[in-house]
Amino acid sequence: MLKSPPVTRDERRAARRRTRRRRRLGVLAGLALAAGGGVALALQLTGGTGAASPPPPPSSSSAPTTGTTSAPGAESEPVPPPDAEIAIAAVGDVVMGSTPSLPPDGGAGFFADVDAQLAGDVVLGNLEGTLSTGGASKCGAGSDHCFAFHTPPSYARRLAKAGFTVLNLANNHAYDYGAEGQAETLRALDRRGLLHTGRPGEIAIQRVGRVQVAVLGFAPYPWAQSLLDVPAAKRLVRRAARKADLVLVVMHAGAEGSDRQHVPHGPETFLGEPRGDSRAFAHAVVDAGADLVVGSGPHVLRGIEWYRGRLIAYSLGNFAGYGVFSLSGPLAVSGGRDLEAFAFEV
């Protein structure tokens, strides 16, 4: 388990500065529906509320930091001007095939039809499966209803080229090939400068200009930061809010299937597995300081909610897959950006 250092006096002062800074930020968000394309959520942060406008092109200053946890003392960065802007794109599930069923040309054109959706300073996706060649599959020989995804580590460069900056690994396929498969995945992402989040205690910090964005992933599995332990989730979100100007939460929650388009009240299960209480979890992390919550896991598009001035997208559905996703009915309905915008004050 990754551990964060104790909170220092300088960190507490920095947290107070960030609280004042967050109050000066306005948020513009757009969510569009499309069939058979992908799922994308665009979020723009700008000084004041102003009029809604489409997200700006990627900033040249949006280089991700190296590593996945913020370093002590990083809070001493200068306060950005009130008109600082950030574009955030979040998409749902991504599976780039599984050996031996892989896209042609080493996946070179895998994102060609959806790369317009992957424009932003922070581009976040849920990576289901592993980028590995080793490890033992969780599925026993001859398993009929077990899925384990094994994509070559070289495919990390396809993610980077497509525009991703942060990948969530808190999901049910991140450990398909055990500790060895997970370790290979982390190395593959690190080599391409891609941040990752979702392991216990893990906070990914991406710096965009002088603004720091924290991304945290949660899922109901032992290799992930627990979705089921809500008090621990709130503590981690508060810790991230002390380190960063904005906090984004990814939750891999909810039952799967074409009949699961609506978010129920109370906890969900799937094949006997607890999948968390999406509403209660999302509200709790916003209460703790999250600025945006996006969901994955059900493989269908679910509703969105404004809660205490924050956006919650309960499931972004399937974004891109090769031979692994059903592309008919509700499982093919997904979202794109630029349909409509909303403005509110943080």
Per cent of the chain over pLDDT 70 is 68
Does the pLDDT value for residue 65 go beyond 70?
A: no
Q: pLDDT, tens digit, for every residue of 166-200? A: 999 999 889 988 999 999 999 999 999 999 999 99
Give the C-alpha distances (Å, rounded to integers) separating 162 from 31, 155, 183, 198.
20, 11, 23, 21
How far apart are the C-alpha atoms of 291 and 241, rounded to whole Å? 9
How far apart are the C-alpha atoms of 261 and 304, rounded to whole Å? 11
Q: How many CA atoms lie within 13 A of 221 on its CB side?
A: 19
Residue 31 has phi, psi (to 5 degrees) of -140, 125
Does the pLDDT value for residue 68 go beyond 70?
A: no
Please give the average per-residue pLDDT across 291-302, as a whole number: 88
Q: pLDDT, tens digit, for every residue of 224-256? A: 999 999 999 999 999 999 999 999 999 999 877
Does the pLDDT value for residue 23 go beyond 60?
A: no
Contact, 198 vs 169, CB < 8 A? Answer: yes
Q: Which two tokens stand for residue 160?
A: 């980077």
CATH pick for 59-72+83-138+147-327 out of 3.60.21, 1.10.287, 2.60.40, 3.40.50: 3.60.21
Q: Assign 3-class secondary structure to the chain.
A: CCCCCCCCHHHHHHHHHHHHHHHCEEEEEEEEEEECCCCCEEEEEEECCCCCCCCCCCCCCCCCCCCCCCCCCHHHCCCCCCCCCEEEEEEEEEECCECCECCHHHHCCCCCCCHHHCCCCEEEEEECCEECCCCCCCCCCCCCCCCCCEECHHHHHHHHHHCCCEEECCCCCCCCCHHHHHHHHHHHHHHCCCEEECCCCCCEEEEECCEEEEEEEEECCCCCCECCCHHHHHHHHHHHHHHCCEEEEEEECCCCCCCCCCCCCCCCEECCEECCCHHHHHHHHHHHCCCEEEEECCCCECCEEEECCEEEECCECEEEECCCCCCCHHHHEEEECCCCCEEEEC
Please give the average per-residue pLDDT across 104-111, as a whole number: 87
How far from the centroid of its chain's Cα atoms is residue 275's Cα? 17
User: Could you tell me the residue ranges of all domains in the chain?
Assistant: 59-72+83-138+147-327
Q: 191 Cβ partners below 8 Å, 6+ apart?
A: 156
Please report the pLDDT score of residue 11 as a whole number.
55
